[in-house]
Amino acid sequence: MPNQTSPEEASKRRSRGRPSPEQAAALRESFLGAALQSFLDNGYAATSIEAIARDAGVAKITIYRQFENKEALFREVVHRAVSSARDTMQATLVRPGADERQVLLDLIERMYLGATEPKTLALLRLVIAEAVRFPELAKSLYAENSYVLAPVVEYLAEAHRSGRLHVPSPELAAVQLSTLAFGGVRFFISKPLAGPEERRVWAEGIVDLVMRGLSPVPPNVPGQAEASSD
């Protein structure tokens, strides 16, 4: 007489063969965390999906089911690293009726904090170091920059339409503002600012620098036409 399997045993077998959504999410978190650490510790070239799987305690096929190669996995690691920065900026900008100067101050501080978060900064350094050998990494980072800055572009575009700010090219202005906030290469080669007071001074200096250029042009100001034509 053939062995009969109870419904409970069948359920257990299925659970072992096919992880539940919760188990799948936990496995994904495990190998993405291991991937980030491996990229940071070993560099892009020396990292392999086999080693990541071993470090995470998962089968290689678990990773390959979701990412076709190492480049795709790296893009996801970068995306996750910068997504929180985008969410933070979005929360800063959605403040109906807020003073533009204060919004920009908070935004610049959050941009700075996002870019100088240790693991994000380490990833940026890695991409720069590997850009010559792996130019596709630089392209993926550039695409992520556009994703991160999208809320800023939307905010500047809306402020321009409503006349609160003068931003005829919000995409360009967002990139310029973020570059000032990040400090260019300064924080790649030196220590980050030491605490909230230094960050606020840094942000205030940037806002004071750009507000004149972003402020709406008053209509019919004597001499304005002559000055703008020089």
| Domain 13-66 falls under CATH 1.10.10.970 | no
Who's near 59: CB < 8 A, 6+ residues apart?
Answer: 53
Identical fold between 13-66 and 70-216:
no
Q: What is the DSSP string of 87-124?
A: HHHHHHH--TT--HHHHHHHHHHHHHHHHHSHHHHHHH
Q: Which of 72, 65, 52 is nearest to 18 (CA)?
A: 65
| Domain 70-216 falls under CATH 3.40.50.2300 | no
Query: What mean pLDDT is predicted for residues 110-132?
Result: 84
Residue ranges of domains in the chain: 13-66, 70-216
Structure confidence at residue 157 (pLDDT): 94
Who's near 211: CB < 8 A, 6+ residues apart?
Answer: 101, 104
Query: What mean pLDDT is predicted for residues 105-130?
Result: 84
Structure confidence at residue 53 (pLDDT): 94
Residue 14's pLDDT band (boundaries 50, 70, 90)? very low
Burial class (CB in 10 A: 0-12, 13-18, 19+), 122: middle
Residue 168's pLDDT band (boundaries 50, 70, 90)? very high
User: Rounded to whole angstroms, how far apart are CA atoms 1 and 213?
Assistant: 87
Least confident of 7-11, 161-165, 192-196, 210-214: 7-11
User: Rounded to whole angstroms, how far apart are CA atoms 180 and 207?
Assistant: 10
Query: What mean pLDDT is predicted for residues 100-115?
Result: 87
pLDDT reading at 12 higher than 70: no
**Does pTM top 0.75 for this prediction?**
no
